[in-house]
A = this chain, B = another copy of it.
Amino acid sequence: MKKIWLIFFISMMVISLRAQQNLDFSGSGGIISPEIHPNNTVTFRLNAPNVKTVAVQGDFISETANMVKGTDGIWTYTSAVLPSEFYSYSFIADGLKINDPNNVYVVRDVASVFNVFLIGGGQGDLYKVNDVPHGTVARRWYDSPGLKMTRRITIYTPPGYEASNANYPVLYLLHGVGGDEEAWMALGRASQIMDNLIALGKAKPMIVVMTNGHTGNAAAPGESSKGFYKPVMMTPDVFNGDMETSFGDVIQFVENNYRVHKDKAHRAIAGLSMGGQHTMYISANYPNTFDYMGLFSPAIVKPNNPNATVYKDLDGKLNAQMKNGYRLYWIGIGKADFLINNVNEYRDKLDKMGMKYVYRESSGGHTWANWRIYSSEFVPLLFQ
């Protein structure tokens, strides 16, 4: 037995030098980075003896922080005590932005890939995978006659869905201009938030449907026949009305394929930034369809295609929505968000019309930290 294992290990080490066989240990060394200490400070480490300067940059510091080189060639930096949160960061080595080779956990945001880490003990506990019942996350393809396309969709079904005979309510959860059907999963920690809120008894078990709001794309970058291309934020389909016009295809697919309550009282729609605008227009254009609306840092901007039917007579449509009634119209935005003036103008309009809404103003700006908070506050209000 010893001999076989020795050969096994030596072989693996030799071949790892050539990266020809799939047993690469490089980058593993003995280095742990990031290391989260019991007091919630975090030490970052990078083994880079030949590099002149290394800094760390992330959403837990306002600028960059210089790392310090040890005699062993390992650069380190230890953060201040950090609040419980899901964080992202990169290193900058001799001016080059790089990922932490000792941290395999990464997320993509548009055309950038960042490392992530998570600090528990507070809000971040909602973003963790905890030992609670877990829902199922499926990537499916649905037919959109409105867009003449088969499109990818990400669907969370709550724990117990498969074994149950019950019908469930549905939350349609939309991303921003940089996102796709994966954004709420990767950056929004949506499946963890749902599992945890349901386990805590704070949210009703519900289905969460995550669409792709770039209607020119069939799927997230790399997941369609467009192959591996460099993602861009401003696709030609942005704010052109197609998302709103074709949204009925999504509802129809969900209601034909899942055990759901098919009525207004059991449909919610929410979205961040561009998805907030989608939420506003979709709920106004399908006026008796949703009892719950969530506009998270909504990008209430003039459409690129203002003559699209869905964009016409918004005031008249909002009036109809108001008269038909709804349970919750929830608007959240950060004080430092560059879209806050647009949101304030929209709130003025609603106030003048007498259209009721719940307003949540948080600290911070146009960030996933806020969108995770908004979703974890909004979801418990649904279907109660």
Contact = CB atoms under 8 A, between A and B. Distances in A.
Interface of A: 1, 4-5, 7-8, 11-12, 15, 18-28, 32, 46, 48-52, 57-59, 62-63, 93-99, 101-106, 108-113, 116-118, 128-131, 133-134, 136-141, 150, 152, 159, 162, 176, 178, 187, 219, 221-225, 227-228, 230-233, 257, 299, 301-302, 306, 337-338, 342, 365-368
B113 A365 contact: no
Contact of A23 (B32, B223, B225, B233): B233
Given A27-B111, A137-B139, A301-B5, A22 B367 contact: yes
Given A111-B28, A140-B136, A228 B4 contact: no
Say how many copies of this protein the assembly contains.
2
Contacts of A15: 338, 365-366
Given A5-B301, A130-B225, A301-B8, A97 B22 contact: no
B98 A106 contact: no
A108 B104 contact: yes
Given A96-B98, A98-B98, A102-B230, A112 B26 contact: yes
Contact of A21 (B26, B48, B108, B338): B338
Nearest to A192: B223
A49 B95 CA distance: 8
The residue among A62, A63, A94, A118 with the most chain B CB atoms within 10 A of its own CB is A94
**Interface centre among A129, A152, A231, by most B CB within 10 Å?**
A129
A178 B4 contact: no
Contacts of A32: 230
Contacts of A27: 97, 111-112
19 contacts: A1-B302, A18-B62, A20-B62, A22-B368, A23-B178, A27-B112, A48-B94, A48-B95, A50-B52, A50-B96, A97-B101, A101-B113, A104-B111, A105-B228, A117-B228, A129-B219, A130-B225, A134-B150, A134-B152
A108 B117 CA distance: 16
Given A96-B51, A102-B230, A178 B22 contact: yes
Contacts of A113: 99, 101, 104, 106
B104 A231 contact: yes
Contact of A4 (B62, B112, B139, B301): B301
